[in-house]
Structures are given as structure tokens and as C-alpha cells.
Amino acid sequence: MRTEGAPRPTACPDPLVGRRILVAITGSIAAVKMPLLVSALAKRGAEVRCVVTPSAAALVSPVALASLSRHQCYLDADQWSPQAPRPLHVELAEWAELVLLAPLSATSLGRWVHGLADTLLASTLLATEAPVVAAAAMNTSMWQAPPVQRNWQVLSTFERVLALGPAQGLLACDRQGDGRMAEPEQLLMALESVALWGWQRDWQGLDLVVSAGPTREALDPARFLSNGSTGLMGVLLAQAARLRGASVHLVHGPLQVHPGLLEGLICTPVQTAAQMQAALMAAQGQVDAIAMAAAVADHRRVEPMAHKLSKLALGDLWAEGWEQVPDLLAGLVASRPPGQTILGFAAYSGDGLAAAREKLRHKGCDWLFANPIDQPDAGFGSPGNQGWLLGPGGQEIEMQPASKLAIAHQLLTALRPPQLSQPGP
Ligand SMILES: Cc1cc2nc3c(=O)[nH]c(=O)nc-3n(C[C@H](O)[C@H](O)[C@H](O)COP(=O)(O)O)c2cc1C
């Protein structure tokens, strides 16, 4: 996920372009992270307005926020301007298509869930009908305090709210624990998700396992065989499911994605196909669905060399001593419990549809997403993807070029196990 402002390829539209986003900032030290996030949103083509509480205005400069959002930053005093033809909180509430409430302090959380409207920000939150992405941030003991926990529980029942609990880490108060605001990368991804899908939690109560990234098979202690998968598609699929309410376990090889994108997932990092297989088999019994987005190596050394090979000796290595890696997807299909839905991925170059049909038949999974790796806006390392989703009963759905998060949401809608009745947007 990019925070930089480089324009996306037109074939892969950015879901935040032209969206009216209200960034509401309260009095947590994490507010200092917001100006750059506001800048990233503006550079991506969103229309941004900022509103701050008096405490937030003491921690982060409203002038910086105004400059980076290309618009006045609203303060409490603006609510009482004699020039305002309509109440400012109503204007802002109606203007916003999406609200990012970050960081959310204990005080503002309490105000909101108790319906208090004693600041511009608090009255705007009560007045808006836009979806809100809310990210709490506070000292660990404050976060764990029973009244705060009760308020957070109430907030998680609100419609239109995507509540992101704090992450673990070193806090500004020198505590190590829960309390850090979700990383800006995570906030951007959540906003993009709400822009694409909304706040509906149609995967609530379901468990999903996702595999992502490449595997690495050692040749010797210095070298390995791998591929160009960054893991972004699998990570975004996992996050989209989490934001739709699922409990998600991500089994991943070495990733090249921002670490903030892993927040909120149960992660098992692995290196080799054998480790990935063991982790997936261990997780399989308890879950409703599995999505195999990992790019697993096809071959490995029967015995990796114990010592680093010379350049010359490396040349001899290719002739013999190789074995095929077990087919992880076929193994999962063979050992799945009744009712478990399995989605496989197939990377192709050239015309992959015929090969994808054959792979679906041969592997026996329910769904197969065949995606090209030789198109400019798709495949390894690209923010976008496209392809064909093949499913039960001969379904063949062509997926047009879109961001990987948009593709992830489309896959989740198709994959949603039949026991789910609640439809999405
Ligand atoms: C330097 C500093 C850092 C603070 N950080 C936090 C924080 O991370 N989370 C929090 O809930 N309160 C924090 N507070 C306390 C709030 O600013 C205070 O509770 C205030 O009433 C919040 O009001 P607001 O929600 O209207 O901004 C901090 C206060 C100071 C002085």
C-alpha cells in the first residue's frame, strides 16, 4: 500500500480519488502522525477536511493540517462564527462521505458512545451518517480500564463504524503494550476498504486461513530458490476479511509489504513449503474457509548443501538432486472437513483460462482465481490485479483490472460460505 502520491495506472483506479474524507483528530500524542496521512490522502486525489479537538490542536499544528489538506482546519471556535449560515457541525457531517477518526482518545470515545456533543468534533460525529473508521490510541492502563473497555464494546456495536483497536508496541509513555494507534498504512487500507465495500461485517463469526507470499527453498546456507511474490494480494485478502468481521490466520512466507498491513491478523511466518504445509494443516481443522494465495515453490533440493557452494560447483547443482514440492492445495482439499470452502490461486502468463479450468478440475477446490503475471497492472509487486474467478457449477467470472483490495473484496463475496445469510452492499 502506498502512502506516496504517485498516480496509479489508470487501469487500476484508486478508490479514494475524489472521495470527501473528514479527518477528525482528538487529543492523543499519536495525532503527530496525522499530517503526513492527510498529505497522503490529498496526494491520492481525495478531498480532505480536518477537524480537531482543543487537546489535539495543542498536540499537532492546525496550520500544518490546513496546508497539507489544502483547506482550512476546523477548530471549536469556528462552530461559533457569526458568519456561519448553517451550523458548522451539520455542514461537515453532511459533507463527509467517509470519516477517519484517528487517533481516538479515551475522552472522545466516552463522549461519542454517551451521545455528548460538547465539541465541534463530537457534535459532527453524532450528526454524520457517513461511515467512520475509528482508531483508538492511549496508554495501556487507560486502554485496559474497565470504563474504556465498556465504551469500546458499545462502539463496536455501532452501525457504520469500523473500530480499529490499538496495536501493541512501545508507547510515548515508555510502556510496552496495547495502545499504539493503528499504523497509517492500516488506516489508509481501512478507508479504502470502506470506500469499496462499506462497513458491513458479513464474515462475522467465521474463521479464515490465508496463505501469502513466496516460499524459499535453500540451495546452500547462502542461496535459495524463490519467486517474485510480494504477498500483497494475500495480505489484503486477509485484511479485507478481517474488516468484514472474520477472524483471520495468515500463514506467510517472506513478505515485501508494509508491516503495518499485518496488524490485527494472527500471523505464522514460515520460510519453506514444508513449513507452510505444516502450518496450514495445523490450522485447517478449525476454519470455515481457506484461501491459498501463496506462491509456493515447485521444486526443492532433496538435501540442501551444508556448506556454501563455489560459483563453479553451483553450475553442477542443476543437473540432479531435486524433488517436487508436495502440492499444498491438493493436500488441503484432500484433508478438508465437511463444509470448508477452499479458494486456490493460479498465476499465469499468456492465455491462462484453459489451464485454470484444468487446474480447478484437477485440484478439486471450490474456487480458483487465475491471475496474469505478465500484464502491466497485475501480478507480483503491482498494486492492481485482474483475472478469472472460476467456481462451482462452471461459474466463470471475469474480474476487470482493479486495486488488489477491490479484487480481495470481490473474492470474499464469492467465497462467503453458504451458512452466511447476511448480504453485503
Ligand atoms: C502529551 C499528551 C498526550 C496524551 N495522549 C493521550 C492518548 O494517547 N490517548 C488519550 O486518550 N489521551 C491522551 N491524552 C489525554 C487527552 O488529551 C485528554 O484526555 C483530553 O481530555 C482528550 O480530549 P479530546 O478527546 O477532546 O481531545 C494526552 C494528553 C497529553 C498532554
Which pLDDT tens digit goes with each residue over 146-166? 999 999 999 999 999 999 999
The pLDDT value recorded for residue 13 is 81
Q: Look at ligand 1, atom 2, and give the residue with the nearest C-alpha.
A: 29
User: Same fold for the domain at 20-197 and the one at 207-415?
Assistant: yes
pTM, full prediction: 0.91
Output the CA 390–ligand 1 centroid distance in Å: 51
* Rounded Cα–Cα distance for residues 5 and 45 (Å): 9
Task: Please give the C-alpha separations between residue 26 and each of 50, 59, 122, 206, 402, in angstroms, as whole numbers.
Answer: 11, 9, 10, 33, 34
Predicted pLDDT of residue 379: 67
CA 243 / ligand 1 centre spacing (Å) = 27
CA 110 / ligand 1 centre spacing (Å): 12
Indicate if ligand 1 lies below 6 Å from the C-beta of 387.
Answer: no
Alpha-carbon distance of 9 to 17, in angstroms, equals 13
**Side chain identity at residue 79, one-letter code:** Q
Q: Which of 12, 50, 73, 173 is catalytic?
A: 173
- Report the residue among 26, 52, 55 best suited for mutation to probe ligand 1: largest number of ligand atoms under 8 A from its CB: 55
**Residue 281 contacts residue 224 (beta carbons within 8 Å):** no
Other C-beta atoms closer than 10 Å to the C-beta of 77 total 10
Give the pLDDT of residue 305.
87
Burial class (CB in 10 A: 0-12, 13-18, 19+), 223: middle
Helices (H), 375-420: 404-415
Place domain 20-197 in its CATH homologous superfamily. Answer: Flavin prenyltransferase-like (3.40.50.1950)
**Listed residue (220, 411, 214, 239) closest to 328, CA to CA:** 214
Topology at the third CATH level for domain 207-415: Rossmann fold (3.40.50)
Is 12 assigned a catalytic role? no
Residues 6+ apart with CB under 8 A from 388: 352, 353, 356, 369, 370, 396, 397, 398, 399
Torsion angle of alpha carbons 208, 247, 213, 275, nearest 10°?
Answer: -80
Please name the amino acid found at residue 354.
Answer: A
151 lines ligand 1 (CB under 6 A): no
Helix spans in 14-139 (H): 34-43, 54-59, 62-69, 88-95, 106-113, 120-127
Distance of CA 221 to the CA centre of its chain: 34
**Under 8 Å between Cβ of 326 and 273:** yes
26 pocket-lining for ligand 1 (C-beta < 6 Å): yes
The DSSP 8-state label assigned to residue 381 in this structure reads: T
Return the domain boundaries, the chain: 20-197, 207-415
Query: What is the structure's pLDDT at 259?
Result: 93
Owner of C-alpha cell 477452499? 342
Element (H, E) at 315: helix 311-317
Nearest CA to ligand 1 atom 14: 28
Q: Separation of 28 CA from ligand 1 center, angstroms?
A: 4
402-417 core/surface letters (b: 16 or more CB in 10 A; e: else): bbbbbbbbbbbebbbe
Q: Determine the residue of 23, 34, 60, 107 to mutate for testing ligand 1's pocket, defined as the one with the most ligand atoms within 8 A of the Cβ atom.
A: 107
Ligand 1 atom closest to the Cα of residue 30 is 8
CA of 108 to the centre of ligand 1 (A): 9
Among candidates 226, 223, 135, 140, which has minimal Cα distance to 183?
135
Given a cut of 50, the residues of the chain with pLDDT beneath it are: 1-10, 421-424
Pocket mutation for ligand 1, best pick of 23, 29, 105, 144 (most atoms within 8 Å of C-beta): 105
C-beta 27 within 6 A of ligand 1 = yes
Strand residues in 253-357 grouped as ranges (E) = 266-269, 289-292, 299-301, 322-324, 341-348
Distances (CA, A) of 81 to 89, 123, 207, 311: 12, 16, 51, 75
Is 138 a pocket residue for ligand 1 (Cβ < 6 Å)?
Answer: yes
- Residue written as cell 453458504? 418
Nearest CA among 41, 22, 35 for reference residue 61 = 35
Ligand 1 geometric centre to CA of 168 (Å): 18
Instruction: Please name every residue paired with 99 in a beta bridge, in sequence order, or none if there are none.
Output: 22, 132
**CA of 27, closest atom in ligand 1:** 27
DSSP state of 406: H
